[in-house]
């Protein structure tokens, strides 16, 4: 016995040491969960809600250092459902795929705020616009006969029926006619009166020092007017040489042109007075040239004509440079007036005026004149000069 006990003692000591090292030695592992295979995931987005999926122990593991038998995994054999895509339901077509920022993270169980929301597509700037007729002509009234325009319905017959003025269907036609005439006079036929002193000047040259005036005025409305015009000249030594007066009826034929007809009376210091019939036009030509052209038929049967044109070139608001041209013509020889047939004379000048006020502007200028053709021959035969250049000082005014 003693020898048997001595032989078994080392074996018992070794077994006791091994039993003291593993506190779980001899313990059976926990039984598997019988409901593990029947457990349904919670209705929340995370199917592992209620399970501690953390891989690290929250506290000091009492089994640290002990080789415990591996416990049966209650999820063994189960495929955990994939975490729901937080962008589910979003149309991401057209965008380049990017890395999922939530990869590897456990999503909270809170409901996806974008669930059931579809990101709107980029708004079309032409949404709601009919672009089908973009290549065709615009649908707007024009005077061109364009076959590409949409057809227009004809004017209904009822629109052209009844009186020309709708008010005549309600009020007496005679009363409405008087009212329309009154409105036309008060608004479209205003009576105005004006006087324009175009030239009031003295000229100094190689010959005699001369002076002249060129004045015109009118009274009437926009369509019908009475015009009067007057020109005269003389020299400082001999006095008044010639005076011309016109009385004309003027009628507007376009917005910028008047036709004028009337009589002209000439008074001369040397020679007989002459009366003429006048027919002319006056208005604004292209490029803002003011034109006054007229033909004159005298009681002696002499036919003459005169054309005047001038233009205001504004250098500043008050300083104006005015070129002026005058051309005289005669259909036949008039020896008593010293005129030959054809183009009789030309005058061209420049006047620089300063408008102290719009109605009052003194000026300085220079003018060249020349007799032409047979008229020049008659003047030179009488001992005169066919050409002349003069400096001028004058005044232009209107009221």
Read off the pTM. Answer: 0.57
* pLDDT at res. 215: 98
* pLDDT at res. 3: 55
Cβ contact 395:201 at 8 Å: yes
Provide block-wise average pLDDT over 10 residues at a time, the chain (399 residues): 52 50 45 46 45 43 43 49 52 48 51 51 56 52 62 79 85 93 81 95 90 96 94 91 97 95 95 94 96 97 97 97 98 92 96 97 97 93 90 97
Can you give the residue ranges of every domain in the chain? 192-398
Q: How far is 1 from 196, CA to CA, in rounded Å?
A: 165
Answer yes or no: CATH 1.10.3470.10 is held by domain 192-398: no
Please compute, for residue 380, the number of CA atoms within 13 A of its CA located in the half-sphere on the CB side.
11
* pLDDT at res. 294: 98
Q: How far is 245 from 211, CA to CA, in rounded Å?
A: 17
CA distances from 251 to 186, 196, 223, 231, 280 (A): 19, 19, 5, 22, 11
């Amino acid at each position: 016995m003693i020898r048997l006990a001595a032989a078994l003692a080392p074996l018992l000591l070794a077994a006791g040491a091994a039993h003291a090292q593993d506190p779980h030695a001899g313990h059976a592992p926990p039984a598997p969960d019988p409901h593990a295979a029947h457990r349904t995931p919670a209705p929340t987005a995370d199917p592992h809600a209620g399970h501690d999926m953390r891989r690290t122990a929250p506290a000091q593991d009492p089994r640290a250092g002990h080789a415990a038998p591996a416990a049966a995994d209650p999820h063994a054999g189960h495929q955990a459902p994939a975490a729901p895509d937080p962008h589910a339901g979003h149309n991401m077509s057209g965008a380049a795929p990017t890395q999922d920022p939530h990869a590897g993270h456990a999503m909270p169980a809170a409901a996806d705020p974008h669930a059931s929301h579809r990101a709107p597509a980029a708004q079309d700037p032409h949404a709601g616009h009919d672009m089908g007729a973009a290549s065709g002509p615009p649908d707007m009234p024009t005077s061109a006969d364009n076959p590409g325009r949409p057809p227009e319905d004809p004017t209904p017959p009822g629109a052209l029926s009844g009186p020309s003025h709708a008010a005549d269907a309600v009020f007496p036609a005679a009363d409405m006619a008087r009212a329309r005439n009154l409105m036309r006079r008060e608004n479209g036929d205003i009576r105005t009166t004006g006087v324009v002193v175009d030239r009031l000047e003295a000229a100094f040259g190689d010959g005699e020092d001369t002076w002249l005036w060129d004045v015109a005025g009118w009274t009437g409305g926009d369509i019908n007017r009475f015009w009067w015009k007057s020109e005269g000249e003389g020299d400082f030594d001999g006095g008044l040489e010639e005076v011309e007066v016109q009385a004309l009826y003027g009628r507007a034929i376009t917005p910028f042109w008047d036709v004028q007809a009337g009589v002209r009376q000439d008074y001369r210091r040397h020679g007989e007075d002459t009366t003429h019939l006048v027919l002319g036009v006056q208005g604004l030509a292209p490029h803002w040239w003011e034109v006054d052209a007229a033909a004159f038929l005298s009681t002696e049967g002499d036919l003459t004509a005169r054309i005047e044109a001038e233009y205001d070139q504004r250098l500043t608001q008050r300083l104006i440079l005015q070129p002026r041209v005058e051309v005289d013509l005669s259909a036949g020889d008039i020896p008593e007036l010293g005129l030959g047939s054809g183009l009789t004379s030309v005058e061209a000048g420049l006047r620089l005026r300063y408008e102290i006020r719009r109605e009052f502007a003194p000026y300085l200028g220079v003018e060249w004149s020349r007799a032409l053709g047979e008229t020049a021959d008659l003047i030179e035969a009488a001992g005169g000069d066919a050409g002349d250049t003069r400096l001028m000082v004058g005044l232009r005014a209107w009221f």
